[in-house]
């Protein structure tokens, strides 16, 4: 996993530009979502605070860590909390006055975010591919403009195929939790969380080669996407365990930030490393794809005679030598 890390560090500008785009996009989606669901969000926050949901989660987590967790006490408090929350939900204001329209608007907004957040993937992948192939670096915006067709096709294909799988994973984990809750109680959350992480990692691994195939291929985006999916079974486990490590770190950061940070803005800031890890995961996918195809690649900057970087560096050296005389 060292070579992808070095590759990511040498392409920190690509990471920074992707982060800026995703931060602006997230701010736009949050602003639009608050405009639509503002009353709902305010009322839900009020319900959570009035019923001390955060305090309940924190105390439960601390009792598990300290070894003082009481199953019967937890079940009784959970039942009281659910009853209080149900009573409080009657005062929640829904957009356009209906649950159905609220769900539809939320789904539309979520799908739009999933599509838009993928719009930097192809540009970032192209820049990584060019660096790995020729050790060159063209402007990020150049790839954004040139690869508009491939960008939108890839984003739509990825969303159309990956999003239903993500929904199935979430629904499956909820069903498994409810199924085992009676037998194992609160501790059911641990095997269910582990199952969810493994399934999500498998999903990420299955689609991990699609972006490298799209940016490295010369045919249509759809054909390259299919080729990337076909590559997954060939080198699945090589990518799976590396993806699992990254997903575990991101999940740990998310859980800790939700449990111990009350301010939503600081919670978002605490999850910035997760965005960085997603970029690192792209580098892992690129390296594994090049290895699968037996293609030689650069993972760090080297001086190649005749390249623009070599010529600029030689010019700076000559300038410093002349100024020193």
- Where do the domains of the chain lie? 2-50+94-295
Ordered per-residue pLDDT tens for the chain, 325 residues: 778 888 888 888 888 888 888 778 777 877 877 777 767 777 777 777 777 777 777 777 677 656 666 667 777 777 777 777 777 766 666 666 666 677 777 777 777 877 777 778 888 888 889 888 887 777 778 888 888 888 888 888 888 898 899 989 988 988 887 777 666 766 777 888 899 999 999 999 999 999 999 998 877 888 999 999 999 998 899 899 999 999 999 888 888 887 777 776 677 777 778 888 888 999 999 999 999 989 888 888 777 666 666 677 777 777 777 776 5
Cα-based angle 178, 179, 183 (whole degrees, multiple of 5): 105
DSSP state of 138: -
Whole-number Å distance between alpha carbons of 1 and 266: 30
Tokens linked to 30: 């949050």
Task: Please report, for residues 95, 199, 291, 312, the alpha-carbon distance to residue 91 in angstroms, rounded to integers and kept in the order given.
Answer: 13, 37, 57, 66
CB 228 within 8 A of CB 26: no
Q: Could you tell me how far CA 124 lies from the centroid of its own chain?
A: 15
Tokens linked to 102: 């609220």
CB 283 within 8 A of CB 208: no
Task: Please report, for residues 70, 125, 139, 151, 233, the alpha-carbon distance to residue 287 in angstroms, rounded to integers and kept in the order given.
Answer: 48, 11, 21, 21, 16
Whole-number Å distance between alpha carbons of 249 and 259: 16
Tokens linked to 316: 């700076």
If you search the block for the tokens 């969303």, which residue do you land on?
A: 159
Q: What is the pTM of this model?
A: 0.76
Task: Please report, for residues 189, 216, 308, the alpha-carbon distance to residue 64 in angstroms, rounded to integers and kept in the order given.
Answer: 12, 48, 58
Burial label, 64 (beta-carbon count in 10 A; 0-12, 13-18, 19+): middle
Tokens linked to 18: 């992707």
């Amino acid at each position: 996993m060292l070579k992808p890390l070095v590759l990511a560090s040498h392409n920190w500008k690509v990471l920074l530009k992707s982060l800026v785009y995703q931060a602006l996009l997230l701010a736009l989606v949050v602003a639009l979502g608050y405009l639509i669901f503002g009353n709902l969000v305010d009322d839900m926050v009020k319900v959570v605070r009035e019923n001390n949901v955060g305090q309940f989660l924190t105390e439960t987590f601390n009792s598990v860590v300290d070894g003082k967790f009481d199953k019967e006490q937890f079940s009784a408090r959970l039942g009281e909390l659910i009853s209080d929350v149900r009573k409080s939900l009657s005062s929640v204001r829904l957009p356009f006055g209906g649950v159905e329209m609220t769900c539809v608007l939320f789904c539309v907004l979520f799908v739009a975010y999933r599509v838009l957040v993928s719009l930097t993937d192809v540009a970032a992948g192209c820049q990584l591919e060019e660096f790995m192939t020729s050790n060159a670096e063209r402007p990020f915006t150049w790839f954004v403009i040139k690869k508009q067709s491939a960008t939108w096709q890839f984003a739509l294909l990825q969303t159309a195929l990956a999003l239903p799988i993500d929904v199935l994973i979430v629904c499956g984990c909820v069903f498994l939790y409810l199924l085992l809750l009676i037998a194992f109680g609160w501790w059911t959350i641990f095997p269910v969380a582990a199952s969810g992480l493994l399934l999500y990692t498998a999903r990420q691994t299955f689609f991990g080669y699609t972006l490298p195939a799209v940016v490295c291929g010369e045919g249509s985006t759809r054909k390259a996407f299919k080729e990337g999916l076909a590559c997954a079974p060939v080198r699945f486990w090589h990518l799976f365990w590396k993806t699992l490590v990254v997903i575990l770190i991101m999940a740990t950061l998310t859980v800790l930030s939700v449990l111990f940070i009350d301010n939503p803005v600081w919670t978002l800031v605490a999850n910035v490393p997760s965005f960085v890890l997603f970029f690192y995961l792209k580098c892992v996918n690129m390296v594994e794809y090049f290895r699968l195809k037996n293609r030689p690649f650069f993972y760090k900057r080297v001086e190649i005679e005749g390249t623009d970087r070599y010529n600029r560096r030689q010019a700076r050296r000559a300038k410093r030598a002349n100024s020193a005389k």
